[in-house]
Amino acid sequence: MSNKLLQLHFAFNGPFGSEMSRQLVELAESINQEPGFIWKIWTESEKNYEAGGIYLLRMRRRRSPISRSIPRA
């Protein structure tokens, strides 16, 4: 087993700030239940219309669904 850091950025038209937090509670809680999930930090830039996140995932032999975009070394 090893841990992997996944960082993503994507175009996002909002909402931002506390409204984003309120509207995405269910999504945040569902991510917390993903196999291998350890922690996440969500990022946002209202100025650049971007959102994203940094995720720490525990990787096992089989890759967790949330981390399939991490290239294998």
Give the CATH number, domain containing residue 56.
3.30.70.100
Residue 42 lies in a domain: yes
Q: What is the pLDDT at residue 60?
A: 77
pTM: 0.73
Please answer whether residues 50 and 20 qualify as being in contact, where contact means their C-beta atoms are separated by less than 8 angstroms.
no
pLDDT digits (tens, 9 = 90+) for 12-64: 999 999 999 999 999 999 999 999 999 999 999 999 999 999 999 998 766 66
Q: Which domain holds residue 9?
A: 2-66
Domain count, the chain: 1
Q: Indicate whether 71 belongs to any domain.
A: no
